[in-house]
Amino acid sequence: MKKPFKIIFLFSIIIINCVAKAQNLPTDKKATKQTISLYQNLKKTAQKGVMFGQQDALAYGLNQDGSRWIGEAGRSDVKTVTGDYPAVIGYDLGKLEFDSTNNLDGVPFSRIRKNIQETYIRGGVNTISWHFNNPTDPNKTTWDKADSTIKHLFANKKFIQNYSLWLDKVAAFSKSLKGSKGELIPIIFRPFHEHTGSWFWWGAGHCSPQEYKKMWRFTVEYLRDKKGVHNILYAYSTDHFDSKQHYLERYPGDDLVDLMGFDMYHRNAPASNEAFKKDMLRMISELKEMATEKNKIYAITEMGLEKVSEADWWTNIVLPVIHNSGLSYALVWRNGRPDHFYAPYKGQSSEADFVKFYQLPETLFSKDVQGLYK
């Protein structure tokens, strides 16, 4: 190309990119009206405060004596404690690949669908993770370490076919999520998460950055372009990262990601309190810079302190790290068992502190977020 043409060409590319960014649209050019609204409103809401989220918040929880309750309509531990639901609710599709009635944590898929509808109608946000088995060896779970799974997957047509069949089920599930007028309910889909760690078969120790990116692209293109699923915002979420470069090492591309996030748990409290806050603040500030530059939404896609063992964890640890962060949401993990829970239940030692946290104008719960789909 001649030099003047080359300059004009490069200049046009820059302009096109700027226009796309300024338009503030999700990556799926055919995203449904409600999905576009959600994407745009999530950005606006982040200027108001940080939405509180919890995984499986409507499926089960803990009673005052620490025993479990399961599947009670309308119940949620956060609601019992504060009078309001989390603004964001998380679900997991693990075992959908086997047409199982229940997901990997025993929640019926029919209930997940119902809870997604209820949350949407209430005005809240739904996000979905997928702890799925290994498509090259379906007997192996997400946690069974298997080197080079992605490499083997793309080298074998049978494996790809198998994985595609699993994606067909994700597509069918997504398309089955409908509001009262039959409109599709938007979801934030967060596949292949915590990949900077190596505890899942897609983790950093088991595939190259190129393989990870290839898997991501294949998955998005299959759901979006082949199956015509247009009610998904895609979330890229690492585990702990050391630097921006580390965070972006496996980032599949601006055209395939709508939300940038990370998962980070607080362990060994109280000894680690200050170190945890410092690390969180660094990661949030780096995330903010990267997401702002790319014009993406950003969030803490998972966090928590097991058994919320610090009575003032919410105002002493969480609040200072999310304050003025511009984060869209911060989601704590599930109230799964008496020895595995991340939000307070009635009578739990952090209950009073959580109510204080709830009352702050900068923390957003269900009643604070209305009109996200308009």
Which chain residues interact with ligand BMA by CB under 6 A? Answer: 92, 104-105, 131, 333-334, 336
Q: For residues 166 and 333, which CB has a smaller minimum distance to ligand BMA in the complex?
A: 333
| Helix or strand run (H / E) with residue 44 | helix 33-48
Single out the residue of 345, 284, 334 nearest to residue 53, CA to CA.
334
Which of helix, strand or coil describes residue 232?
strand
Q: For residues 247 and 333, which CB has a smaller minimum distance to ligand BMA in the complex?
A: 333
Single out the residue of 160, 25, 35, 84 nearest to residue 360, CA to CA.
84
Nearest approach, Cβ of residue 40 and ligand BMA (Å): 30
Nearest approach, Cβ of residue 336 and ligand BMA (Å): 5
Nearest approach, Cβ of residue 334 and ligand BMA (Å): 6
Q: And the tokens for 315?
A: 């105002």
Q: For residues 230 and 334, which CB has a smaller minimum distance to ligand BMA in the complex?
A: 334
Nearest approach, Cβ of residue 359 and ligand BMA (Å): 28
Nearest approach, Cβ of residue 50 and ligand BMA (Å): 22
CB atoms within 10 A of CB 98: 13
Whole-angstrom Cα distance, residue 87 to residue 274?
28
CB atoms within 10 A of CB 269: 16
Q: For residues 60 and 159, which CB has a smaller minimum distance to ligand BMA in the complex?
A: 60
Whole-angstrom Cα distance, residue 185 to residue 174?
8
CB-hemisphere CA count at 13 Å for 114? 11
The residues, ordered by sequence, that sit 6+ positions from 42 with a Cβ below 8 Å of its Cβ are: 125, 259, 297, 328, 372
CB atoms within 10 A of CB 229: 25
Residue with tokens 């015509």: 228
Nearest approach, Cβ of residue 372 and ligand BMA (Å): 25
Q: For residues 195 and 334, which CB has a smaller minimum distance to ligand BMA in the complex?
A: 334
Q: For residues 297 and 303, which CB has a smaller minimum distance to ligand BMA in the complex?
A: 303
